[in-house]
Structure 1
Amino acid sequence: MHTGGTVYILAAQRSLIPHIQWVLESVLAEKPTYRWQQQKAMTGFSTCSLVWRDESGTGSLLASALREVPNLWFEISEEGTAETLPGWFMHTPDLGVFYTVTDHAGNFMVSEDRIRSAYEKSHGRPDQLLSQLSAALGEPWNDELEPLRADLDRGQPQPLTRSS
């Protein structure tokens, strides 16, 4: 099954851009076109977005490969197929990778298992339950990534070009 999505590199050290491109190209079947811009929220960092089309599960492969790059903040979307649900990955160096299934409008879907886990970990304390549900919704990741999103042109990710 083929699907697609978008990679949003929200902040990357400029010196690591060649390595990041190598990582992306080692996972994707088609070579991306890059248009790096200065990340205004972090001096010495750049930002970039690109769309991808590949096998279902490529979003997970991209997230696994990119998380190994130091000092990298990113998000990855993967569209659903007839057999898979859409998904969203968020990564920060301090928090690691967060993944959630989304609905077709992009809303995060919290599973019954995550809700039960949040309830069990809270030991009946309302403040702890709120904290656990916040984590289940990816709010710590979202809070850290939000200031970096302003400089990324989400409306115009760069399409892939055919590899030769």
Structure 2
Amino acid sequence: MSTRGIIWIHSSPAALRSHVEWALAGVLGVPAHLEWSPQPVERGSYRAELEFDHHPGTAAAIASAFRKWGRLRFEVTEEPSNGHDGQRYSFTPALGIFHAGMGVHGDLLVSETDLQQAMAHGLDGLEERLAALLGTPWDEELEAFRHAGDGSTVRWLHQVG
């Protein structure tokens, strides 16, 4: 069984680019040579995108491998597949990691338990708690980095074996 996904590295210091490629190769099981381009939003940083076709859970493994460096800004999504919800991971140095399940139409899935916890503290601050469940702070921080890549090409990396 396989699923498709996409990796957006919105900003990486030059020194981390080879480490990012090694981490991807470790997760995907094939060499990963990204096409890096300068990230105009953050001087001295670079951006890259890569689509993948691999087994469910790949997005989690990639996000786990990337987050340890702390200086990357990235997003990884994985489409739903038979028996598996889709996944979305976002990371910024200031906010850390965000994770949410994703439905077949790209909507984020918020659990009943998470909603109950958000509502348990009353109306005061509810809007901020709901925004955090939806990843709004991550979207706001990453938006400028996303637009810097408009018009860039994306390459596919398929599972081997």
TM-score, normalized by length of structure 2? 0.92
AA in 1 matched with 2:149:
L
Task: Compare 152-161 and 52-61 and name the one that shifted more.
Answer: 152-161
Query: In the TM superposition, what is the alpha-carbon distance from 1:45 to its structure 2 partner?
Result: 0.4
Aligned to 1:140: 137
- Give 5+ residue unaligned stretches, structure 2: none
Q: Distance in 2 between matches of 1:145 and 1:88?
A: 14
Q: Distance in 2 between matches of 1:144 and 1:63?
A: 18
RMSD (Å), alpha carbons: 1.7
Are 1:47 and 1:151, in contact at CA under 8 Å, matched by a contact in 2?
Answer: no
Q: Distance in 2 between matches of 1:13 and 1:77?
A: 22
Are 1:33 and 1:158, in contact at CA under 8 Å, matched by a contact in 2?
Answer: no
Q: Distance in 2 between matches of 1:98 and 1:71?
A: 15
Query: In the TM superposition, what is the alpha-carbon distance from 1:80 to its structure 2 partner?
Result: 1.1
Aligned to 2:83: 83
AA in 2 matched with 1:27:
V
1:160 to 2:157 alignment: yes
SS at 2:125 equivalent? helix
Query: In the TM superposition, what is the alpha-carbon distance from 1:33 to its structure 2 partner?
Result: 3.8
Aligned to 1:55: 55
AA in 2 matched with 1:28:
L
- Counting aligned pairs with the same residue, the percent is 32
Aligned to 2:46: 46
Query: In the TM superposition, what is the alpha-carbon distance from 1:19 to its structure 2 partner?
Result: 1.0
- Give 5+ residue unaligned stretches, structure 1: none
Aligned to 1:10: 10
Query: In the TM superposition, what is the alpha-carbon distance from 1:153 to its structure 2 partner?
Result: 4.3
SS at 1:159 equivalent? strand
TM-score, normalized by length of structure 1? 0.90
1:37 to 1:89, Cα distance in 2 relative to 1, 3 A: same
Residues 56-93 of structure 1 show CA distances to partners (whole Å, capped at 9, x for unaligned) of 11110000000012310000011111110111110111
Query: In the TM superposition, what is the alpha-carbon distance from 1:108 to its structure 2 partner?
Result: 1.4
Q: Distance in 2 between matches of 1:67 and 1:143?
A: 19
Aligned to 1:151: 148
Are 2:108 and 2:134, in contact at CA under 8 Å, matched by a contact in 1?
Answer: yes
Task: Compare 41-50 and 15-24 and name the one that shifted more.
Answer: 15-24
* Aligned positions, number: 160
Q: Distance in 1 between matches of 2:88 and 2:66?
A: 14
Aligned to 1:68: 68
Q: Distance in 2 between matches of 1:161 and 1:99?
A: 24
Aligned to 2:25: 25
